[in-house]
Structure 1
Amino acid sequence: MQPPPNAPTTARPERLRAAWRAAHEPVEGVSRRMRLVACAVPLTVLPAGLWRLPAAFDPGIGIGERAYIVFLSIFSEAVAFTAFGLIARWGEVFPRWVPYLRGRRVPVSAAVLPAALGATVLTLLWTVLTLTTQIMGRTIRGGKLPDDFPSRAGGWDAVSFYVCYTPLILWGPLLAVLTVAYARRRRRGAP
C-alpha cells in the first residue's frame, strides 16, 4: 500500500540534510579556523537584522518602509551567507542548478574579485559610518544626528543599538580573511 501523496516521507528530511551539508561542509584543505570565520560572518550581521525587525511592526510607518526593513534584514543575511562559498564545494564547482555552468569549476578570479571588493566596501563602509556617526556625532552629509537616533537617545536604546550594530564592523575584515585563504587554497590546488 502506498502512502497518500500529502503524507510526509522520510526522504524529505534526508534531502534537507544533504542540501544543508552541501551548502555548509567545507572542502578538503579548509582549516578549522576558516570554518569558524565562515560561520562568524553571518553571525556578525544577524544582531543588526534582529534589531531592525521590530521597527517593521511600528504602526507609525507605511507598508513600503516595513517591506524595506524586512527586505534589508533578509538580504543582508543572505549576502553574509555567501561567505560559505569561500569554504564549501559550491564555491569551487558550480552547483547543478546553475544553467550552462553546472559541474564546471568556478574560476578563482570569479570568486576572489567580488569577495575582495565586498570586503573592501564593507570595511570602509562600517569604518566610515562608525567614525562619522558614533565618534564625531554627525551624519555623512555633515548635519547633526536627530535627537531620537538610537546612539544619541541614551539608556537601553543606545546600549541595544551598539550591541547589535558593533559586530558589523567585523563583517569586512572577516570576509577579507576568508577571501585570502580561498585564493591561496585554490591557487595551491590548481593544476
Structure 2
Amino acid sequence: MVICGTPSAVAVRASAPPARWAVRAAQVAALTAVPSGVWRTVMGLGIPVGFDTRELSVPGWFTVVCVAMSLGVEGLTFLTLGLVRPWGEVVPGWIPLIGGRRVAPLAAVVPASLGAAVLLLLTIPNARGFGGAKGAPTGPALVLMDACYAPLLLWGPLLAVVTVDYYRRRRGVRGR
C-alpha cells in the first residue's frame, strides 16, 4: 500500500487492521472535546453562558486563550485516531527526515498510555460537575456547562482501550 504517495515511501501495513470497535472508540474519543470546546469558545467570545467573566478581558486575551485551549484539546483528541489509522504506523511522507518510516509501537503506546492515565486522574475527581467553583454558573447554566464537559469523561477510558488494541496489533513490530 502506498502511504505517502511517492515510490520510495511504499510501505506494507505492519499489523492487522484495527477492530471495528477500536475505530469507533477512536472516533468517539476524537469528538469528546467538541462540546466543551464550543462552550469555552462561546464564553470566550463574551456570549453569556453563566460564567462570571467580568474580571477577564472579553473580548481580548481571554478570547484568544479560550479558542487556543479549545483547538489544542481537540488536536490532542484527534491524535487518538493515529492509533487506528495508517499514519499511526508509518510517518506521513510530507514530514521532513522521518517521513515514510515505521512508527515504533512504543513511541505511540507510551505517550498514549500516559495521556490516558493523566486524563483519568484529571476527569474522575470532576465527574460530579464544576458547581461551587468561583464564578461558576448555577442553575440551568451549570447543567448546560456540565453537559458540555461530560463527554470528556469518556476520553481517558476510550484512549486507554484504543491504546491496548494498538499495542496488541503492533507488538512484535520493529521500527526501522
TM-score, normalization by structure 2: 0.79
Look up the SS of the partner of 2:44 in the other structure: helix
- From 153, 159, 163, the counterpart of 2:147: 163
Q: For 1:149 and 1:159, how far apart are their aligned partners in 2? A: 11
Does residue 149 (structure 1) correspond to residue 136 (structure 2)? The answer is: yes
Match among 163, 172, 175 for residue 179 of structure 1: 163
Match of 1:90 among 87, 103, 106: 87
For 1:125 and 1:104, the matched residues in 2 are separated by: 34
Pairwise CA distance, 1:78: 0.8
* CA distance, structure 2, for counterparts of residue 45 and residue 119 of structure 1: 14
Asked if 1:46 corresponds to 2:30, the answer is: no
Contact 2:16 2:169 in 1 (8 A): no
Query: Mapping of 1:28-177 within 5 angstroms?
Result: 28-58=16-46, 60=54, 61-62=56-57, 63-130=60-127, 134=130, 145-146=133-134, 148-150=135-137, 153-154=138-139, 156-177=140-161
Root-mean-square deviation (CA), in Å?
2.1
Question: SS of 2:102's equivalent?
Answer: coil
Aligned length, in residue pairs: 152
For structure 2, the residue ranges without an aligned partner over 5 or more in a row are: 6-14, 48-53
Matched residue, 2:11? none
Query: Counting helix residues as a fraction of each chain, which structure ranks higher?
Result: 1
The CA distance in 2 between the partners of 1:180 and 1:28, in whole Å, is 14
- Give structure 1 regions of 4+ aligned residues with deviation exceeding 3 angstroms: none
CA distance in 1, matches of 2:31, 2:102: 28
Tell me the distance in 2 between the aligned counterparts of 1:86 and 1:57.
34
Q: Note the residue ranges of structure 1 that are not aligned, 5 or more in a row.
A: 1-17, 19-26, 138-143
